[in-house]
C-alpha cells in the first residue's frame, strides 16, 4: 500500500477493482464503511462477479476477466481529452514534460525492440533524451510531440469507450457514468483510493494493470494524498514482510536485487544499481545503494566482509535466469533437474497451477521436506485418496520428511501488514507435541549443514562456514535478536559530515540515514532500520492517538520507511508547500520545515522552492507515466488477451498474432500444448476466496467446515438454463489440463457479457477444499488452471482461463 488501512476512511471515492475486500479483508473493510459513513464516500466495485464487496457498493460493473487495462486506458484517454486531469499536479510532480529519446515507438501492439525468437525486448529505446550533462530534457509546456504527456495521449487514443464496451463487456453509458465519478476526484479537495488484490495481479499482464492504476492516480493528483494512493491488499498476514525481507529468489532484503550472471564484477554490479539523479538537484534515493548493500554483507559475514574482498560479493549467487520463481522450480522438477525441495508453510500441490504438472514434478524429486503444523495435501501427494486424488504410490519414489512447526500464535515476532506496519506480538501458547518454531528448525538445519561442511568438505563451503551466527542459543535464534539485527547497529563510531560522532560503536542505529558504505555499519534489512533503535522495540508501541484526525497514529507500531505512513506525502502539498485543500491538509511547509500529520517523505528542511520533486525514490523526483525500462513489456500498459481467451483476436491489435497475448508472458516450452481453445472450452473462468475459509488449511477446522461445507462453482442463470443445470446439480468443470466436480450454485451474480461480437459466459470457482481435512473432500481447483506467469513477477494466471461445464447427475 502507498497509503494504509485507516487512511481509506479519508477517501471520497473508493475504487474496488481486482479485489473483494469485504470477503478477503473483512477487518480492514471497516475503513471502507467508515468512509461511507463519514463523508458519504462512493464505493465502486468492478468485478466479473457481483461479490460481497459489491453487495454494499454504490456502483457495480461486471467486467470480463483480464481486461482491466482497457477500462483504465480508456479512462486515461477520457481524462486527457475532457481536460479533467489535475493540471498543476501533473505539470509539477510527474514526468509528463520529459522528452523521450528518438527511436521509441509502438506499432500493432508491440513496442520497439521486440525479438520474437526469444520473446524478449531490447529496452534501449525506452528512455528519456539526455542533455550534455546527462540530465533528461524537459518541455514545461507539455507540447513537444515526444514528451511523455503527448506520447501517452497518442498511445491511449486507441482506447475508445466503444472498445471498452467491446472488450470488457461494460455498456458505454455505465462506463461513462463511472468515469465521471472517478474524474471528479481530480479536484484538490477530493481523493479516490484504489483497492486491489489478486484480480489485478494474477494475470499474464498483472504488473501492467497495476501500473495503469498508478498512472490514473497520478493524472488525478491522488498520489501522496490522504484517501488516495494505490493500495495492494496483501494476502497472508505477513506476506508484506516476506517481500520486504527479500524472500524471493531474485531479491535481497529491502528490495535490493541479486546480480545476474553477467555481473561477476562488484563495481559493475554497483554501477547498475546506484541510480544517480536524472534531473539536476533531485534526491534519487537509490544513489545510496552501496550503503544498504555493504551494511547487509557486514551483517551476514561480519569481519570476514572487507573492502578488499568486495564485501564477499563473490559469494552471492548470480542469476543465469531473470528469476528462479516457483513456476521455474516446478518446471525444473519435471525435467528431473532438481533433487530435493523444502516446502515451508507452502501447500504447493493445492496452491500452484496445473496440478498434474506439479504432481509430476514432486514425483521426480528424491526428497521433499514439508514444514507445516498440519498434514496438508502436499505432504501426502504420494498417497491415494480415491476419486479426488487418484494416484499409484508404488510409482512414486520421493522420500517425504515432515517437520511439524508451530503456528503464528505459538511464536513471538513482528508481522508486517499491508500498511507496511511492523506489529510485534508475543507468543500466546507453546506449540503442541513435537512441533518446533520455524526459526528453531532452520537454526538446526543451518548448524548441521555447517557441521557437515566442516567434517566432510563439499563444493563452495565458504558462504555457509563464514555466515555470522551470533545468537545466544545458536539452534534457536530469538525473534528479538533477529529484529535487532534487521534494524542494524554501528560497528565503529559513526560521524556526520562535520565529524561529530552521532552513533557510538555497538549502538543500535536510529534509522537508515546512519548507514555507511565503508563497513562501519551492519544492517539486515535497510528499510526496517528504525524498528529497534537504542530506545527499544518500536514495533511493540500501542499508542493510537491521532492528533490531526487523519487516522495517522504515529505511535502505533512502526511503519517502514522511517515510520512514515503515507508514501510520497510531499505531494499532499502544492509546489509552494501549502495544502491542496484545507480538508486534505496532511504535510506542509511551516516556514522552517515540513510539518503535519506524518513523517515527511522529503528532506525535512528543504524549502518548497528548492526545486526537489516529491517522488524521492525515482531518478527524476517525479511520478512516472513513462516506465522507462522498469517493466518487461513496455513503458505504457497495453492490453493483451489472457493466455486462454474466449475470443479469437485481440481487438486492440487485431492484425498482429504476436500481440494476441502478452508477448513476453512466462511460458515454458514444455507447456506449449497445455492451453485450450475456446472451441473446446468456451467459458471464461476465474477463481477466488470465501470469507469462511483460508485457502486449504481451514478445511481442517470443524467450524469452518460447517460454515462452508462443500466445493461449489458459480454459474449464471442464463448459461445454467442453456445447459440444463439446476441449483444443487453436480457438474463437471474441465480445462485442457483436467477436470473437477462440484455442486452448481446457479446465480444472478454472473451475467453473460457481449464481447467482440459474441456472448461470453463467466464461471466462478472458489479455490478452497482439497482431499485432506475434516470438510467434504474435493478435487483441487488448481487441477484446472494454466501454467503460465505474468511477464514481470511470474505470478500465475489464476484469474483468467477457459473451461467447459457439463451436468454429471447427482445432486446435494
Ligand atoms: N477469508 C479469507 N481471506 C483471505 C484469504 C483466504 O483464503 N480466505 N486469502 C488471503 C490471500 S493470500 C490473498 S492474496 C488475498 C486475496 O484477496 P482478493 O484478491 O480480494 O481475493 P480473490 O477472491 O482471490 O479475488 C478477488 C476478486 O477478483 C475478482 N476478479 C477476478 N478476475 C478479475 C479481473 O480480471 N478483473 C477484476 N477487476 N476483478 C477480477 C474475483 O471475481 C474476486 O471477486 O486474500 C487474503 N484473505
Ligand atoms: N487457483 C488459484 N490458486 C491460487 C490462488 C488463487 O487465487 N487462485 N491464490 C494464490 C495465493 S495469493 C496464495 S497466497 C497461495 C496460497 O498458497 P499456500 O500459502 O500454499 O496456502 P496456505 O493454505 O495458506 O498454506 C500455508 C500453510 O502454512 C501453514 N502454516 C501456518 N502457520 C505456519 C507457521 O508458523 N509455520 C509454517 N511453517 N507453516 C505455517 C498452514 O498450515 C498452511 O498449510 O495460493 C495461490 N493459489
Ligand atoms: Mo496470497
Which residue's CA lies nearest to atom 16 of ligand 2?
Answer: 351
For residue 324, name the pLDDT band (cuts at 50, 70, 90).
confident
> What is the structure's pLDDT at 150?
98
Which residue's CA lies nearest to atom 34 of ligand 1?
Answer: 65
Burial class (CB in 10 A: 0-12, 13-18, 19+), 151: buried
Residue with cell 522507462: 628
What's the pLDDT tens digit per position in 199-251? Answer: 999 999 999 999 999 999 999 999 999 999 999 999 999 999 999 999 998 99
Cα–Cα nearest to 205, from 744, 773, 780, 660: 660
Q: Give the number of the atom of ligand 2 that is nearest the alpha carbon of residue 781.
A: 1
Q: Which residues fall within 8 angstroms of residue 304, CB to CB, at 6 or more apart?
A: 312, 466
What's the pLDDT tens digit per position in 622-673? Answer: 999 999 999 999 999 999 999 999 999 999 999 999 999 999 999 999 999 9
Instruction: Please give the backbone phi and psi of residue 342, each rounded to the nearest 5 degrees, phi first.
Output: -105, 125
Q: Which residues fall within 8 angstroms of residue 782, CB to CB, at 6 or more apart?
A: 350, 351, 352, 353, 354, 355, 358, 767, 798
Report the alpha-carbon distance of residue 424 to residue 412 in Å, rounded.
8
Share of the chain above pLDDT 70, in %: 100
> Is 752 a domain residue?
yes
> What SS3 state is found at 440?
helix
Contact (Cβ atoms closer than 8 angstroms) between residue 189 and residue 783: no
Report the alpha-carbon distance of residue 599 to residue 601 in Å, rounded.
6
Q: Give the number of the atom of ligand 2 that is nearest the alpha carbon of residue 688.
A: 7
> Is 388 a domain residue?
no
Which residue's CA lies nearest to atom 28 of ligand 1?
Answer: 199
Report the alpha-carbon distance of residue 749 to residue 768 in Å, rounded.
19
Dist. CA 20 → ligand 1 center (Å): 6
Please provide the DSSP assignment of 339-368 as one string: -EEEEES--HHHHSS-HHHHHHHHHH-SEE
Please provide the DSSP assignment of 153-209 as one string: HHHHTT--HHHHHHHH---HHHHHHHHHHHHGGGSTT--EEEEE-HHHHSSTTHHHH
> Is 783 a domain residue?
yes
> What is the structure's pLDDT at 812?
56
> What is the structure's pLDDT at 130?
97
Segment 305-321 shows an average pLDDT of 95
> Is 354 a domain residue?
no
> Is 702 a domain residue?
yes
Per-residue burial over 553-573, b = 16 or more CB atoms within 10 Å of its CB, e = otherwise: bbebbbbbbbbbbbbbbbbbb
What's the pLDDT tens digit per position in 3-37? Answer: 999 999 999 999 999 999 999 999 999 999 999 99
Would you say the CB of residue 700 lies under 6 angstroms from ligand 2?
A: no
Q: Give the number of the atom of ligand 2 that is nearest the alpha carbon of residue 346.
A: 20
For residue 803, name the pLDDT band (cuts at 50, 70, 90).
very high
Give the start-end residues of each E strand in 532-576: 558-559
Dist. CA 558 → ligand 1 center (Å): 27
For residue 603, name the pLDDT band (cuts at 50, 70, 90).
confident
Segment 578-585 shows an average pLDDT of 98
> Is 746 a domain residue?
yes
Would you say the CB of residue 148 lies under 6 angstroms from ligand 2?
A: no
Dist. CA 30 → ligand 3 center (Å): 21
- Ligand nearest the Cα atom of residue 234: 1
Q: Quick count: other Cβ atoms within 10 Å of Cβ 592?
A: 9
Contact (Cβ atoms closer than 8 angstroms) between residue 205 and residue 109: no
Q: Give the number of the atom of ligand 2 that is nearest the alpha carbon of residue 371.
A: 38
Q: Which residues fall within 8 angstroms of residue 194, CB to CB, at 6 or more apart?
A: 15, 17, 213, 216, 217, 229, 230, 231
Would you say the CB of residue 310 lies under 6 angstroms from ligand 2?
A: no
Together in a domain, 807 and 663: yes
> What SS3 state is found at 456?
helix
Burial class (CB in 10 A: 0-12, 13-18, 19+), 482: middle
Would you say the CB of residue 404 lies under 6 angstroms from ligand 2?
A: no
Cα–Cα nearest to 17, from 195, 202, 180, 203: 195
Q: Give the number of the atom of ligand 1 that is nearest the alpha carbon of residue 53.
A: 44
Report the alpha-carbon distance of residue 160 to residue 292 in Å, rounded.
46
Report the alpha-carbon distance of residue 333 to residue 319 in Å, rounded.
18
Together in a domain, 520 and 662: no
Together in a domain, 803 and 662: yes
Top-confidence range, 247-251, 325-329, 796-800: 796-800
Together in a domain, 533 and 666: no
Q: Which of 488, 516, 538 is the last residue of a domain?
A: 538
Give how many domains the chain has, as a whole number: 2
Report the alpha-carbon distance of residue 643 to residue 668 in Å, rounded.
13
Would you say the CB of residue 65 lies under 6 angstroms from ligand 2?
A: no
Report the alpha-carbon distance of residue 374 to residue 346 in Å, rounded.
11
> What SS3 state is found at 14?
strand
Q: How far is CA 709 from CA 59, 120, 687, in A?
A: 31, 46, 18
> What is the structure's pLDDT at 511?
98
- Ligand nearest the Cα atom of residue 351: 2
- Ligand nearest the Cα atom of residue 46: 1
Report the alpha-carbon distance of residue 703 to residue 693 in Å, rounded.
10
What's the pLDDT tens digit per position in 740-771? Answer: 999 999 999 999 999 999 999 999 999 999 99
Q: Which of 538, 570, 587 is the last residue of a domain?
A: 538
Q: Which of 487, 511, 538 is the last residue of a domain?
A: 538
For residue 668, what are the domain limits? 657-811
Report the alpha-carbon distance of residue 318 to residue 297 in Å, rounded.
15
Report the alpha-carbon distance of residue 518 to residue 526 in Å, rounded.
15
Segment 385-408 shows an average pLDDT of 96
Cell (9 digits) for 560: 517502514
Dist. CA 697 → ligand 2 center (Å): 8
Contact (Cβ atoms closer than 8 angstroms) between residue 658 and residue 752: no
**Local structure of residue 66 (DSSP, 8 states):** T
Would you say the CB of residue 213 lies under 6 angstroms from ligand 1?
A: no
> Is 556 a domain residue?
no
Which residue's CA lies nearest to atom 3 of ligand 2?
Answer: 351
Which residue's CA lies nearest to atom 11 of ligand 2?
Answer: 351
Query: Which pairing describes strands 13-17 and 192-196: parallel, antiparallel, or unpaired?
Result: parallel
Q: Give the number of the atom of ligand 2 that is nearest the alpha carbon of residue 347.
A: 20
> Is 12 a domain residue?
no
Prior bond of 254 cis (ω within 30°): no
Its sign, for the CA torsion 535, 539, 542, 544, is positive
Burial class (CB in 10 A: 0-12, 13-18, 19+), 284: buried
What's the pTM value of the predicted model, to 2 decimals?
A: 0.98
> What is the structure's pLDDT at 321?
79
Dist. CA 567 → ligand 3 center (Å): 23
Dist. CA 380 → ligand 2 center (Å): 16
- Best residue among 695, 713, 789 to mutate for probing ligand 2's pocket (most ligand atoms within 8 Å of CB) is 695
Provide the terminal-to-terminal Cα distance of the chain, rounded to the nearest Å. 42
> What is the structure's pLDDT at 408?
86
Per-residue burial over 305-337, b = 16 or more CB atoms within 10 Å of its CB, e = otherwise: beeeebbbbebbeebeeebbbbbbbbbbbbeee
> What is the structure's pLDDT at 811?
59
Write down the mean pLDDT value for the chain.
97
- Domain at 800, CATH number: 2.40.40.20
Report the alpha-carbon distance of residue 372 to residue 529 in Å, rounded.
30
What's the pLDDT tens digit per position in 76-132? Answer: 999 999 999 999 999 999 999 999 999 999 999 999 999 999 999 999 999 999 999
Q: Which residues fall within 8 angstroms of residue 473, CB to CB, at 6 or more apart?
A: none
Amino acid at each position: 500500500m502507498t497509503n494504509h488501512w485507516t487512511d481509506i476512511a479519508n477517501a471520497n471515492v473508493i475504487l474496488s477493482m481486482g479485489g473483494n475486500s469485504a470477503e478477503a479483508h473483512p477487518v480492514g473493510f471497516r475503513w471502507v464503511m467508515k468512509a461511507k459513513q463519514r463523508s458519504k464516500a462512493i464505493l465502486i466495485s468492478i468485478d466479473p462477479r457481483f461479490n460481497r464487496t459489491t453487495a454494499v457498493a454504490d456502483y457495480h460493473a461486471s467486467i470480463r476477466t483480464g481486461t482491466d487495462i482497457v477500462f483504465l486506458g480508456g479512462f486515461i484517454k477520457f481524462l486527457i481529452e475532457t481536460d479533467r486531469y489535475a493540471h498543476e499536479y501533473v505539470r509539477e510532480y510527474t514526468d509528463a514534460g520529459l522528452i523521450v529519446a528518438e527511436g521509441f515507438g509502438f506499432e500493432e501492439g508491440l513496442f520497439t525492440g521486440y525479438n520474437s525468437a526469444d520473446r524478449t525486448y531490447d529496452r534501449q529505446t525506452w528512455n528519456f533524451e539526455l542533455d550534455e550533462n546527462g540530465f533528461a530534457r524537459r518541455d514545461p509546456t507539455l507540447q513537444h510531440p515526444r514528451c511523455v504527456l503527448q506520447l501517452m495521449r497518442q498511445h491511449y487514443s486507441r482506447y475508445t469507450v466503444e472498445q471498452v464496451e467491446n472488450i470488457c463487456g461494460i455498456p458505454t453509458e455505465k462506463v461513462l457514468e463511472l468515469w465521471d465519478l472517478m474524474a471528479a476526484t481530480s479536484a484538490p479537495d477530493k481523493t479516490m483510493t484504489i483497492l486491489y488484490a489478486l484480480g489485478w495481479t494474477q494475470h499474464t499482464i498483472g504488473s501492467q494493470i497495476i501500473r495503469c492504476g498508478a498512472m490514473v492516480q497520478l493524472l488525478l493528483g491522488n498520489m501522496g494524498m490522504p484517501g488516495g494512493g494505490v493500495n495492494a491488499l496483501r494476502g497472508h498476514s505477513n506476506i508484506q514482510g516476506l517481500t520486504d525481507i527479500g524472500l524471493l529468489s531474485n531479491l535481497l532484503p529491502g528490495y535490493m536485487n541479486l546480480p545476474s550472471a553477467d555481473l561477476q564484477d562488484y563495481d559493475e554490479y554497483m554501477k547498475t544499481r546506484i541510480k544517480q539523479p536524472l534531473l539536476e538537484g533531485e534526491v534519487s534515493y537509490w544513489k545510496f545503494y552501496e550503503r544498504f548493500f555493504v551494511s547487509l554483507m557486514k551483517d551476514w559475514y561480519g569481519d570476514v566482509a572487507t573492502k578488499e574482498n568486495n564485501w564477499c560479493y563473490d559469494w552471492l549467487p548470480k542469476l543465469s535466469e531473470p528469476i528462479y520463481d516457483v513456476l521455474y522450480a516446478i518446471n525444473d522438477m519435471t525435467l528431473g533437474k532438481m533433487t530435493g525441495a523444502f516446502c515451508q508453510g507452502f501447500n504447493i500441490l493445492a496452491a500452484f497451477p496445473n496440478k498434474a504438472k506439479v504432481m509430476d514434478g514432486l514425483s521426480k524429486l528424491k526428497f521433499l521436506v514439508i514444514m507445516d503444523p498440519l498434514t496438508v495435501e502436499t505432504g501426502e501427494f504420494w498417497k491415494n485418496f480415491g476419486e479426488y486424488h487418484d494416484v499409484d504410490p508404488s510409482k512414486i519414489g520421493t522420500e517425504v520428511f515432515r517437520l511439524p512447526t508451530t503456528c503464528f500464535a505459538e511464536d513471538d515476532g513482528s508481522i508486517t501488514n499491508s500498511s507496511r506496519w511492523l506489529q510485534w506480538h508475543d507468543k500466546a501458547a507453546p506449540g503442541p507435541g513435537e512441533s518446533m518454531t520455524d526459526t528453531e528448525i532452520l537454526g538446526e538445519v543451518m548448524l548441521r549443514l555447517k557441521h557437515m561442511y566442516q567434517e566432510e568438505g563439499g563444493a563452495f563451503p565458504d558462504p555457509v562456514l563464514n555466515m555470522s551466527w551470533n545468537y545466544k542459543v545458536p539452534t534457536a535464534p530469538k525473534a528479538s535478536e533477529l529484529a535487532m539485527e534487521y534494524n542494524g547497529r554501528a560497528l565503529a563510531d559513526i560521524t556526520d559530515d562535520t565529524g561529530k560522532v552521532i552513533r557510538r560503536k555497538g549502538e543500535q542505529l536510529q534509522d537508515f540515514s546512519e548507514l555507511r558504505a565503508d563497513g562501519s555499519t551492519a544492517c539486515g534489512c535497510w528499510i526496517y532500520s528504525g524498528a529497534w533503535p537504542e530506545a527499544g522495540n518500536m514495533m511493540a508501541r500501542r499508542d493510537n492517538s491521532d492528533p490531526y484526525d487523519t487516522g495517522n497514529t504515529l505511535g502505533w507500531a512502526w511503519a517502514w520507511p522511517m515510520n512514515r505512513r503515507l508514501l510520497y506525502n510531499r505531494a499532499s502539498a502544492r509546489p509552494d508547500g501549502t495544502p491542496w485543500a484545507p480538508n486534505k491538509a496532511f504535510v506542509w511547509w511551516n516556514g522552517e520545515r515540513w510539518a503535519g500529520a506524518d513523517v515527511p517523505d522529503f528532506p525535512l528542511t528543504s524549502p518548497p522552492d528548492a526545486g526537489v520533486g516529491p517522488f524521492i525514490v525515482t531518478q527524476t523526483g517525479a511520478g512516472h507515466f513513462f516506465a522507462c525500462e522498469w517493466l518487461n513489456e513496455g513503458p505504457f500498459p497495453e492490453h493483451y488477451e489472457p493466455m486462454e481467451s474466449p475470443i479469437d483476436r485481440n481487438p486492440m491489435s487485431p492484425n498482429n498474432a504476436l500481440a494476441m497475448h502478452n508477448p513476453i508472458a512466462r511460458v515454458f516450452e514444455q507447456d506449449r500444448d497445455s492451453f485450450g481453445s475456446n472451441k473446446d472450452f468456451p467459458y471464461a473462468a476465474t477463481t477466488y476466496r470465501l470469507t469462511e475459509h483460508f485457502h486449504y488449511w481451514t478445511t481442517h477446522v470443524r467450524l469452518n467446515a460447517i460454515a462452508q461445507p462443500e466445493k461449489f462453482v458459480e454459474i449464471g442463470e442464463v448459461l445454467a438454463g442453456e445447459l440444463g443445470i439446476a441449483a444443487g446439480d453436480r457438474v463437471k468443470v474441465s480445462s485442457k489440463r483436467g477436470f473437477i466436480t462440484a455442486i452448481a450454485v446457479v446465480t444472478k451474480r454472473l451475467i453473460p457479457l457481449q464481447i467482440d461480437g459474441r456472448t461470453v459466459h463467466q464461471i466462478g470457482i472458489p479455490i478452497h477444499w482439497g482431499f485432506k481435512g475434516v470438510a467434504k473432500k474435493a478435487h483441487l481447483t488448481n487441477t484446472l488452471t494454466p501454467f503460465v506467469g505474468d511477464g514481470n513477477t511470474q505470478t500465475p494466471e489464476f484469474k483468467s482461463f477457459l473451461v467447459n461445464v457439463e451436468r454429471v447427475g447427482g445432486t446435494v
